[in-house]
C-alpha cells in the first residue's frame, strides 16, 4: 500500500480553514467592548475610511474563505472525480501568491480603515489629514491585489493543464 500523497484540494481546504479562523479572530476583535477595539464599530458606521475596513473584512470572508473553499471543490473534482493531476509547479506558485495577495490586501485594508477611521471618526481629523493617512496604502494594496490576480491566473492554468495519469 502506498503512503497517502496530499492532494491539492486538501491543501486548499486547509487554507480555507485557516482563513475562517482568522475571520473569526477579526470578528471577535470588532465586537469586543474593550479599548481600543471598542472604537471599531463607530469607525465602520462612520463611513469614509471605515469602508476600507469593512471592505477588508468582507474580502477576507468572500475571497479568503469562499475563494479557497471554492478552489478546494474545483481541485477535488479534478483530482478525484476526473482522476487528473494538476500542474504542481503552477498550482504551488498560484496558491502561495493567491494567499499572500488576499491576506496582505485584506490586512492592509483593515489597517488603513482602522487608522484613517480613527482619525476621522474619533479624533475628528480633517479630510486632508485622513487622506494623508490613507494614501500610503494605495500602492501596497494595488500591488498585493495584483499578486492575488497573478496567483489566481496560475491556479487556472494549473487546473486547465491537469493531465490524466499515464499508464505504464
Q: pLDDT digit string (tens) for 88-113?
A: 999 999 999 999 999 999 999 999 99
Q: What is the pLDDT of residues 112-135, one digit of tens each?
A: 999 999 999 999 999 999 999 999
CA dihedral 21, 23, 28, 34 (to 10 degrees): 120
- 3 lies in some domain: no
Please answer whether residues 117 and 50 qualify as being in contact, where contact means their C-beta atoms are separated by less than 8 angstroms: yes
Would you say residue 147 lies in a domain?
yes
pTM attached to this predicted model:
0.89
Q: Tell me the residue range of the domain where 85 lies.
A: 8-160
Please check whether residue 82 lies inside any domain of the structure: yes
Residue 167 lies in a domain: no
Q: Residue 79 contacts by C-beta under 8 Å, 6 or more apart in sequence?
A: 7, 8, 9, 85, 86, 162
> Does the residue 86 lie in any domain?
yes
User: Which DSSP string corresponds to 75-144?
Assistant: HHIIIIIS--B--HHHHHHHHHHHHHHHHHHHHHHHHHHHHHHIIIIIS---HHHHHHHHHHHHHHHHHH
Instruction: Give how many domains the chain has, as a whole number.
Output: 1
Amino acid at each position: 500500500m502506498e503512503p497517502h500523497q496530499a492532494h491539492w484540494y486538501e491543501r486548499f481546504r486547509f487554507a480555507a480553514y485557516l482563513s475562517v479562523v482568522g475571520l473569526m479572530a477579526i470578528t471577535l476583535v470588532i465586537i469586543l467592548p474593550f479599548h481600543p477595539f471598542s472604537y471599531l464599530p463607530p469607525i465602520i458606521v462612520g463611513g469614509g475610511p471605515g469602508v476600507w475596513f469593512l471592505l477588508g473584512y468582507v474580502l477576507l470572508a468572500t475571497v479568503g474563505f469562499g475563494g479557497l473553499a471554492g478552489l478546494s471543490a474545483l481541485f477535488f473534482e479534478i483530482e478525484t472525480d476526473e482522476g487528473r493531476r494538476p500542474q504542481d509547479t503552477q498550482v504551488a506558485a498560484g496558491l502561495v501568491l493567491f494567499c499572500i495577495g488576499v491576506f496582505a490586501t485584506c490586512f492592509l485594508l483593515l489597517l488603513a480603515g482602522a487608522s484613517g477611521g480613527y482619525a476621522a471618526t474619533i479624533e475628528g481629523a480633517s479630510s486632508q489629514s485622513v487622506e494623508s493617512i490613507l494614501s500610503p496604502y494605495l500602492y501596497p494594496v494595488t500591488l498585493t491585489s495584483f499578486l492575488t490576480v497573478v496567483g489566481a491566473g496560475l491556479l487556472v492554468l494549473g487546473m486547465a493543464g491537469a493531465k490524466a495519469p499515464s499508464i505504464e
